[in-house]
A and B are shown apart, each in its own frame.
Chain A
Amino acid sequence: MSTLTISSIRKSFKGTEVLRGIDLTIESGSFVSLLGPSGCGKTTLLRCIAGLETPSSGQILIGGDDVTALAPERRRLGMMFQSYALFPHMTVLENVRFGLRMRADRSVAEQRKAARDALEVVRMEGYADRLPTQLSGGQQQRVALARAIAPEPRVLLLDEPLSNLDARLRDDMQIELVELHRRLGLTTVFVTHDQHEAMTMSDTVVLLNDGSVEQVGEPEDIYRRPATHFAADFIGAANMIAGEATAQGIRLDGVPGDALPRPDNATNGRGSLVVRTESIVVGHSPATGYDSAAPVTVLTSVFRGAEVIYVVELAGQRVKVTAPANVPIVPAGAAVASWASSEAFWLSETTVLTHER
């Protein structure tokens, strides 16, 4: 099996620590996204797995073998690069056959057959004799994918493969990559800075920030229960409203009236109430079916087709709201924001401190 185990990986470039001790286990057959803002170390971590960077310390095991000191050409991994990195002087078929040719454990005819099969998987079998320069970006990408999977790698590594595609093609490719993963069952590590991409595609999301793992979990888990301020902020759009949790409920700073119902996970003490933009409803009065409400001032609203984005002020804090566009738009001025405490959760200051160091 090709379970990937990463233990206490550190990497420094010229005295700057880019990876600060990463521990991670990637189960055989799973699709894992390394997600984080640029400079968080996600690509460096992927390159360490591939062997293209040597970690300063730590260990990488693939299927139980320690590969930390193994050259990339001997790791039997497939990697797809952001720029695709196709060989410009070889035909599509020769590009895809390259890995099999290097391994040289089958006849040329069998290698060609396997390369054609891989091209068929990405639906590029009709382009076998073209040169990469004669293909569009999306087609080049499929060829790069076929080249990576043709030698049956133990792990497939994808370095922001979709970032060079236009929006529509990207959506199509996301679905295709997921389907391909289901069909082949390849352990896949996918690097992206796009939280939507990570959410839609992976079994597990690894959120990285400043060289450390911020949170690991299933997409829904990370989305609904971010462990840190950073996670809440980075994954989807969330509002964090400062306040204090007591036995009676939540008191948001500057909001008068009764304490609001506590979210399930609240612990007493100072912290922030995290409410996703789409969990808030703006209206002229508290909305029915929601147990929490607070007076707000609507500052601006932006119509975006399927939805309306409001920026409102809640006791001196700016809060964003995403509302469906099929209800009348609330004009600027006094209004009421409502939400369900079951949709919100509590980030106490102590958890924030332990995670943000």
Chain B
Amino acid sequence: MVKSVPLVAKAAAVVLLAFLALYMLVPIIVVAGASLSESRFLAFPPTGLSLEWYVVALTSDVYLGPLQTSLLIAVVAAVIAATLGTAAALAVTRFPLPFSGAIQSFLLSPLIVPTIIMGIGTLTLVSVIGQGPDLWVLVVVHAVLGIPYVMRTVTGVMARSDRFTEEAARTLGAGTWSRYRFVVLPMARPGIVAGAFFAFNISFDDAVIALFLRTPQLETLPIAIYGRLEFSTDPSVAAVSTLMVLITVVTMIALEKAIGLGKAFV
């Protein structure tokens, strides 16, 4: 099969892939490069080579507080999204629910609603009915954003799995609880973890909604970076940004090693 692909097409594919990789990597390379600079100004290529701005980033309260806030929000939002998204995915794939198509579309809708609308809507809502935004409001909105990702990955894994495994478990004496505990959830696990990872990233990365809901007590890392950039241009911003990328990459590699994240996308 592969042999029959003409050489020209292969070469074109390689060139296209190279450009695609470059297109995605260049901004990260620039930021990572700038973070290593000795200079007090954000510049690329870096002048000199030092890790001094990483020290600044990791010791300064400007970033540490927001980093903790961001991690807390992202982890809790991811856990909520994974729980609800998995339940919803199992419900729509395993049971003949009335309006299951409508339910699915509704739960997937955060994918197409612009985040700016979500931000304005949430701000208006919490201002009208509550005391304004706080950390838990952001957790809830981020969880809502994460649910569609979990639903997609779990639905994908379940659709590919043999639907008779549950019946096999029943004939072997497994009641409802055991069936979920020992068969359904372990089979869905690659999808759950991949979805949770996406949900974590969506939350950790979100600047738009966090911007609308920011208060002096509620500042996430992207907002802190943005705020810092407004007033100063030292490379600590680049150092923090590079750390954000590293956290994502390390999480992804760890998950791949632990459960084979790739399984969710076969």
Contacts and interface: CB of A to CB of B under 8 A. Distances in A.
Interface of A: 50-52, 71-79, 81-90, 98-99, 102-103, 147-148, 151, 157
B171 A73 contact: yes
A341 B39 CA distance: 108
17 contacts: A52-B170, A52-B171, A72-B167, A75-B171, A77-B171, A82-B164, A83-B162, A84-B162, A85-B165, A85-B167, A86-B162, A86-B168, A88-B162, A89-B187, A98-B169, A102-B178, A147-B168
B172 interface: yes
Contacts of B164: 81-83, 85
Contacts of B168: 79, 81, 85-87, 147
Contacts of A74: 173
Interface string B189-209: 100000000000000000000
Nearest to A82: B164
Nearest to B172: A99
Contacts of A102: 172-174, 178
A52 B169 contact: no
A147 B170 CA distance: 13
Chain A CB within 10 Å — which of B164, B172, B174 has the most? B172
B186 interface: yes
Contacts of A82: 164
Nearest to A72: B170
Given A83-B162, A85-B162, A73 B175 contact: yes
Interface of B: 161-162, 164-165, 167-175, 178, 182-183, 186-187, 189
Contacts of B162: 83-86, 88
A325 B173 CA distance: 53
A87 B164 CA distance: 10
B240 to A, nearest CB: 39
Given A72-B167, A79-B168, A102-B178, A88 B161 contact: yes
Contacts of B167: 50, 52, 72, 79, 81, 85
A151 B168 CA distance: 13
B209 to A, nearest CB: 36
A102 B172 CA distance: 7
A99 B175 CA distance: 11
Contacts of B172: 73, 78, 98-99, 102, 147, 151
A176 B188 CA distance: 35
Task: Classify the secondary structure of B's interface with A.
Answer: helix
A81 B178 CA distance: 20
Given A85-B168, A87-B165, A98-B169, 15 more contacts: A52-B167, A72-B171, A73-B173, A77-B171, A85-B162, A85-B164, A87-B169, A88-B162, A88-B187, A90-B186, A98-B172, A98-B182, A99-B172, A102-B172, A103-B173
Contacts of A86: 162, 165, 168
Nearest to A150: B172
A79 B169 contact: no
Given A83-B162, A87-B165, A71 B170 contact: yes
B171 A50 contact: yes
Contacts of A78: 171-172
Nearest to A76: B173
A51 B182 CA distance: 21
A89 B189 CA distance: 10
Nearest to B179: A73
A99 B173 contact: yes
A20 B172 CA distance: 29
Contacts of B186: 87, 89-90
A129 to B, nearest CB: 17
A148 B169 CA distance: 10
B167 to A, nearest CB: 5
5 tightest Cβ-Cβ pairs between the two chains A and B: A102-B173, A99-B172, A85-B164, A85-B168, A79-B171
A76 B170 CA distance: 10
B163 to A, nearest CB: 8
B173 A151 contact: yes
A95 to B, nearest CB: 9
A357 B104 CA distance: 47
A82 B168 CA distance: 11
B220 to A, nearest CB: 36
B252 to A, nearest CB: 21
A90 B189 CA distance: 13
Contacts of B170: 51-52, 71-73
A98 B165 CA distance: 12
Chain B CB within 10 Å — which of A51, A82, A88, A103 has the most? A88
Contacts of B189: 89
A73 B162 CA distance: 19
Contacts of A151: 172-173
Contact of A87 (B173, B178, B187): B187
Contacts of B178: 102
Contacts of B182: 87, 98
